[in-house]
Amino acid sequence: MKKRGFTVLTLVLAAGLVITGLTQGQAREVLMKAVRVCLECIGIG
């Protein structure tokens, strides 16, 4: 029961972090990074 409470708390914390990130426009920054070929990732950057 105690662990279940900790799980719920972690989920709430996760939701809070995601919302904070969204308000700061971080999802858009992830998008801008992900739609360009990452030269480092493919080993030529």
List residues near another protein by CB under 8 A.
Answer: 3, 6-7, 10-11, 13-22, 24, 26-31, 33-45
Complete DSSP assignment for the chain: -HHHHHHHHHHHHHHHHHHHHHHTTHHHHHHHHHTS--HHHHT--
Q: Please, what is the minimum distance in Å from the beta carbon of residue 33 to another protein?
A: 5
Q: Please, what is the minimum distance in Å from the beta carbon of residue 36 to another protein?
A: 8
**The pair of three-digit structure tokens given for residue 39, joined into one six-digit string:** 């030269």
Q: Please, what is the minimum distance in Å from the beta carbon of residue 25 to another protein?
A: 9
